[in-house]
Amino acid sequence: MKNTDPSHTISVLVANKPGVLVRIALVFARRGYNIDSLVVSPTVNPKYSRMTLTARGNLETLDQIIKNAGKLVDVIHCGEHDMAHSVEKELSLVKLKASPAVKAFVTKAARKFHVKIDDSSEKYYIIEQTGTTAQLNEFEAMAKKYGVVEMVRTGKILMAKGKKET
């Protein structure tokens, strides 16, 4: 599948301390970059956390942001990743009004987009999807035709392929 996502994915390994997230966000803000998504979680070593950020903009500016973030005291590593050298996933929950047409759509989409109904009531379905950003965007566009009531997305997470560390 062709990647149509214009955003850049940056992975930052940091000390698991209060205030680190604010300092990273300030590096982006000083350069006028908006962070589109942000996922932070501890690593297997509880001393460290991994931040996965997505942002859009000029590559030259992004390189400066990565260099400046890498100079922060509690940052162990900061770098950009691409789909060719990493596995990327995102999760979304979409709430749709229950109807026979929506159920038929979800049943059909389940095969193509690997979605499942996490909750169903008389009036609403909550649909879960895990996949690439492009897959989630495609499903979202189709679901909007059925009237999306609410939607939540986690933001992208990734892991470098092979021997290379994320």
Rg (CA), the chain: 18
State the pLDDT at residue 146.
93
State the pLDDT at residue 59.
86
Judged against a pLDDT cut of 80, whether residue 55 lies above it is answered with yes
pLDDT tens digits for 15-25?
A: 999 999 999 99
Percent of the chain with pLDDT over 70: 97
State the pLDDT at residue 143.
95
SS3 6: coil
CB 75 within 8 A of CB 81: no
Average pLDDT of span 57-75: 92
pTM of the model: 0.82
pLDDT tens digits for 107-116?
A: 998 888 989 9
Strand partners, 39: 52
State the pLDDT at residue 165.
86
Judged against a pLDDT cut of 80, whether residue 1 lies above it is answered with no
- Confidence bin at 58 (pLDDT 50/70/90): confident
pLDDT tens digits for 69-106?
A: 999 999 999 999 988 899 999 999 999 999 999 989 99
CB 140 within 8 A of CB 151: yes
- Choose among 38, 24, 127: nearest CA to 69: 24
Judged against a pLDDT cut of 60, whether residue 154 lies above it is answered with yes
State the pLDDT at residue 2.
47
State the pLDDT at residue 3.
47
Q: How far apart are CA 114 and CA 103, in angstroms?
A: 15
